[in-house]
Structure 1
Amino acid sequence: MKSQRLFAGIILVGYGCFFLIQQLQVESLQSLLTWPVLLAITGLAFLIQAYSGKEYNAIFPGVILFGFGLHFIIVDRLSIWPNHIGAFVLIIALAFLLYYLKTGNGLLQGFLMLVLAITLLFYEKISQYAGSYGEIISYITKFWPAIFIIIGLFFLIKRK
């Protein structure tokens, strides 16, 4: 990071507020005094640094940390929020796609992760809609990890 003043300032203010609320024992905010809030504060600091400091390499870790923190904060508070691995893959996909918007890199990774996230989050509904293709889908689901490995090896071996 070129200028760490903004990042450090946000971290210190955010963590300071967190620990002050903890020390003052503010009853209405006690449920938010958990480690995911610290993740979200750190991610927010990265995102503010990325966008206001034009240091776009901080977008990816910012989205990951803020997204994971936010996920853990609301997963037990919001009944429609998925408590599923697909939610994490979706956050990673968003990180790639937001990074792509500013740098032009990461579109393929973001798109692949988005497709995977949608598949994981809506697998049961996709299976229901498949109907007569259920046997094919069931066969694919047995071997999808191997398919990922083969595609990954292709990307590793392939030269431009």
Structure 2
Amino acid sequence: MRKKNQLSAYILIGIGTYFLIQQLEIPFFQQLSTWPTLLIIIGASFLLHSYLGRDYDKIFPGVVILGLGVHFHGLSTYDFWTDQWGVYCLIIGIAFLFRYQKTKLGLYPGIILTFVGLFVILTANNPIIFDSLQHTLENYWSVALIVFGFYLLFKKR
């Protein structure tokens, strides 16, 4: 199979399997008949293509799409699933770290976004000690992103 058709093939196989299972009406898989499952399939297809085809530029979008699919599926399925904005930082941070694993690019944004996401998620329902720090982060995180972006833009190589 040629490399340029692999990603399309993986996506078609995944979506075709999704619709076949939906037509067969298998009871266990009925809870997976949601739109987040399609995101999971597309994200997994990107990752499969990235690792099997050694096309590592698809790792980042694959992790982001898969992470969003898992998050939205968790929101619709589980009562304990959190809906904090930190989840999106965490997903993007993990995507940077996965990309860093193969390309050695994006370590610092990955670490920062992962820690910010974990911090927001873990301190959302915690004591007053974290309230002022979380309030500061919620108000000024965008300024920190802008400053860090300028740092990356103008730093000496």
Q: TM-score, normalised by structure 1?
A: 0.80
Aligned letter for 1:94? Answer: I
Tell me the CA shift for residue 17 of structure 1: 1.4
Alpha-carbon distance in 2 for matches of 1:70, 1:138? 25
TM-aligned CA distance change 1:138 to 1:110, over 3 Å: closer
1:122-137 alignment, distance < 5 Å? 122-124=122-124, 128-129=128-129, 137=133
Aligned letter for 2:120? Answer: L
Q: Deviations over 1:12-47 (max 9, x none)?
A: 221111112233333442221111111111111111
Secondary structure of the structure 2 residue equivalent to 1:82: coil
TM-aligned CA distance change 1:54 to 1:111, over 3 Å: same
Structure 2: segments with no counterpart, 5+ residues: none
Secondary structure of the structure 2 residue equivalent to 1:15: helix
TM-aligned CA distance change 1:5 to 1:155, over 3 Å: closer
Alpha-carbon distance in 2 for matches of 1:85, 1:124? 10
Q: What's 1:112 paired with?
A: 112
Q: Does 1:35 align with 2:41?
A: no
Tell me the CA shift for residue 125 of structure 1: 6.2
Q: What's 1:12 paired with?
A: 12
TM-aligned CA distance change 1:6 to 1:146, over 3 Å: closer
The number of equivalent residue pairs is: 155
Alpha-carbon distance in 2 for matches of 1:104, 1:129? 37
Q: Is the 8 A contact 2:63 2:91 kept in 1?
A: yes
Tell me the CA shift for residue 150 of structure 1: 3.2
Match of 2:145 among 123, 126, 148: 148
Structure label with greater radius of gyration? 1
1:58-97 alignment, distance < 5 Å? 58-97=58-97
Q: Percent identity?
A: 34
Alpha-carbon distance in 2 for matches of 1:139, 1:9? 46
